[in-house]
Amino acid sequence: MLLYCTSFAVYLTIQQKLLNMGMSPIYLNTLCYTFAGIFLCAYLFFRNRSAFVIKSKKGLAYGIVIAIVVSIFADMLVLYGLRVGTPITWSLLVCSAPLVTYLLAIPLLKEPLTGRKFLVVVLSILGATLVIYLPGTGIDLKHGAPYFIGAVCFFGIANNLSQLAFKYI
Amino acid sequence: MVTASVVLFSLWPIFHVEIVSVQWGLLIVNSLVILLANFLVSYVIHKAGAMYFAIGTNMSPLIVSLLSIVVLRNWPTWMQVLGGMVIVGSIMLFQYVAKSRK
């Protein structure tokens, strides 16, 4: 678990460093996923070639939609946010993704809304507001917060789509 | 075929003038770290369960903040620390409510 959190932190820090060097977010995103795709394809080619066989067309369609939502929309917003904001703001705001997932699951997956869960949602919104609040200036929308909030919403959509995709995969 | 065309299509930025001066080593390390992080998500959920993973991810802002302070010299504001504590606290409460309902 510690290794996961560390790799997440290293990933964010490297991205921030590359963006600080003047690299465009669109190139950074494309190149990172290109190399990741090449490594993964090479690994699967030598270890498990059956992974390339498409077993369910609906599963594939969900996979493509989820990949577009996460890798293109959400990650692009994160990178544009990191260009003007900090990894700290993003790492704090991304913690509210489970709650956005839950809020979206209420209409999409017919999740029940209880009083305690409603309290938790209110607390989380309060926390997110505090993260982007600058004393004396008000809510700081200049340092990447709108991008990060948009990315959290896309992650919430992707999580709900993943839940639906598990019916076919 | 789809994978191959996606990979070939996405290779075009490599030849773009703007990114000639990019640190390729850092970029490749970043790609490997993405794969490692995604692998660890599946591994931890498989070995210890989704609940443990969800609780464990709450410590990621702490590690990101530490690394950000050391490498990028970015310090969190007091409001961010307070807001982060409220978010992490509310997520833990959410997980407690979900667990007690089960």
Is there a contact between A112 and B61 (Cβ–Cβ < 8 Å)? Answer: no
Taking the C-alpha atoms of residue B97 and residue A46, their distance in angstroms, rounded to an integer, is: 44
Q: What separation in angstroms does the CA of A144 have from each of A79, A134, B27?
A: 9, 13, 22
Kindly state whether residues B39 and B61 are assigned to the same domain: no
Does residue A88 lie in a domain region?
Answer: yes
Q: Does a structural domain hold residue A20?
A: no
Q: Does B4 share its domain with B23?
A: yes
Lowest mean pLDDT among A128-132, A136-140, B36-40: A136-140
- Under DSSP, the state recorded for A72 is I
- pLDDT of B8 strictly over 70: no
Residue that wins the pLDDT comparison between B15 and A26: A26
Q: Pick A80 or A112 by higher pLDDT.
A: A80
For chain A, say whether B88 makes contact (Cβ under 8 Å). yes
Facing residue for B10 by CB, picked from A34, A92, A102? A34
Is the Cβ pair A95, B76 closer than 8 Å? Answer: no
- Candidates B14, B77, B87; nearest CB to A128: B87
Please answer yes or no on whether B18 and A120 come within 8 Å at the CB atom. Answer: no
For residue A18, pLDDT over 80 is answered with yes
Indicate if the pLDDT at residue B6 is higher than 60: no
For residue A105, the enclosing domain spans 56-165
In chain B, the number of structural domains is 2
Higher pLDDT, B22 or A25: A25
Residue A49 lies in a domain: no
Give A134's strand partners. A138
Q: In chain A, which residues have their Cβ closer than 8 Å to the Cβ of B79?
A: 130-131, 133-135
Tell me which DSSP letter residue A51 carries. G
Q: Nearest-CA neighbor of A117 among B24, B17, B96? A: B96
Best of B55, B60, B92 to disrupt the A interface by mutation (most A CBs within 10 Å)?
B60
What number of CA atoms fall less than 13 Å from residue A106's CA on the CB side? 11
What per-residue confidence (pLDDT) applies to B17? 46
CB atoms near residue A66 (< 10 Å): 18
From A70's Cα to the closest Cα of chain B, the distance in A is: 13
Residue pair A32/B23 in contact (Cβ under 8 Å)? The answer is: no
A61 domain-assigned: yes
Residue B44 and residue B59 in one domain: no
Is residue A37 in a domain?
A: no
Residue at A151 is within a domain? yes
Q: Are B54 and B44 within one domain? A: no
From A93's Cα to the closest Cα of chain B, the distance in A is 8
Residue B9, pLDDT above cutoff 60? no
Out of B30, B80, B90, name the one closest to residue A92 (CB). Answer: B80
* pLDDT at residue A103 in the model: 84
Cα of B62 to nearest chain A Cα, Å: 9
In a domain, A78, yes or no: yes
Range of the domain at B40: 1-48
Number of domains in chain A: 1
Over residues A141-154, mean pLDDT: 84
Residue A138's pLDDT is: 67
